[in-house]
Amino acid sequence: MPNLNLHGIIAYPVTPFKDGGETIDTDTLSQLIEQLIENGSHAIAPLGSTGESAYLSDAEWEEVAFVSIHQVAKRVPTVVGISELTTHNAIRRAKFAQQVGSDAVMVLPISYWKLSEREIFQHYAAIAQAISIPIMVYNNPATSGIDLSPELIARMVKEIDNVTMVKESTGDIQRMHRLYELSDGTIPFYNGSNPLALEAFAAGASGWCTAAHNLIPEFTTALYEFALKGDFFEARRIFYQQLPLLKFILKGGLPTTIKAGLQLLGIKAGTPRLPMLPLDETEVRQLDSMHINTTRQRTVSHFTKQIG
């Protein structure tokens, strides 16, 4: 298994729809990915929570995976997201992702009935056995309904060969401390809670999994670069500037708010799937008043150039 060395800004594209939400808009998807890379992202993670992975049919999911990987074209790593209720379906999607060239998969163990640690372990073990690319354990109880303890995660990294990294989205910094302690700092962990971006880097996170890079790439990359240098005065300054937006997109839901933000930037990515509704007018105005404005000029020009 090749060393992936994932780090920095792991950017999450939305899944754009057209024809009233019926079909995937693969052209816009390609352009979005192009934009994310051009704006400095260190990896691309299609079909995450932001990408409405759980809301897609098998055929749609496969189309997005294929198009994304093809567009990235190995310039940076691609990490495809899998959030399936059954082990059977998770394995099918993981095998597809590997087959079409994904560098890794990020696996979220969605629940209806709560799962025991024994059940979670064998879910990951079964997927791991079916593929040979690295697996990122994704802990996000707010969306998945399952909370993976740092102890369980560390055990899976130790005992399952290609489980090698962790995305922590609880927003609880003590989870990162515990992962660090349990592995003497050897398990790479990535922060998935946007308003924790500053402190996660302080605690030693290898990267930041974020959809904010779609809207304010200068800010997200600047935060990472200051953190990388260990300059926390500047990191703090740039963090507080983007914090209102980071909180807004968390509160409003990533597909909803990022799609609204793209619209403000002149990019038509459609709206999220029902029952999710687009932002209402007041919310759009709120979003419009945030830092996204300051980057619009540049982003739009880039984008125009890109798609021109």
Catalytic status, residue 167: yes
Q: Does 110 bind a second copy (CB under 8 A)?
A: yes
Distance between CA atoms of residues 264 and 279, nearest Å: 12
Residue 87: phi, psi to the nearest 5? -60, -40
Judged by beta carbon, residue 118 or residue 305, the one nearer a second copy is 118
Q: 273: which DSSP letter? A: P
Tokens of 145: 């309904």
Residue 301: other Cβ atoms inside 10 A: 10
Q: Does 240 bind a second copy (CB under 8 A)?
A: yes
Judge residue 140's burial from the number of C-beta atoms within 10 Å of its C-beta, 0-12 exposed, 13-18 middle, 19 or more buried.
Answer: buried
- 214 to 233: interface string for a second copy, x by CB under 8 A: -------------x--xxxx
Question: Alpha carbon 275 to chain centroid distance?
Answer: 22
Contact 59, 36 (CB under 8 A): no
Judged by beta carbon, residue 127 or residue 136, the one nearer a second copy is 127
Q: Does 87 bind a second copy (CB under 8 A)?
A: yes
Residue 79: CB minimum distance to a second copy, A: 19
Q: Map tokens 């709206």 to a residue.
A: 271
Tokens of 171: 């927003």
Q: Of the listed pieces 94-102, 149-157, 217-225, 240-248, which binds a second copy according to CB under 8 A?
A: 240-248
Distance between CA atoms of residues 65 and 68, nearest Å: 5
Q: Does 275 bind a second copy (CB under 8 A)?
A: yes
Positions 152 through 191 that interact with a second copy (CB under 8 A): 171, 173-174, 177, 180-181, 185
Catalytic status, residue 138: yes
Pairing of the two strands 163-168 and 79-82:
unpaired
Q: Does 143 bind a second copy (CB under 8 A)?
A: yes
Count of positions on this chain that bind a second copy (CB under 8 A): 59
What residues make contact with a second copy under the rule CB under 8 A? 49, 54-55, 83, 85-88, 109-116, 118-120, 122-123, 126, 142-143, 145, 171, 173-174, 177, 180-181, 185, 195-196, 198-199, 202-204, 227, 230-233, 235-236, 240, 243-244, 253-256, 272-277
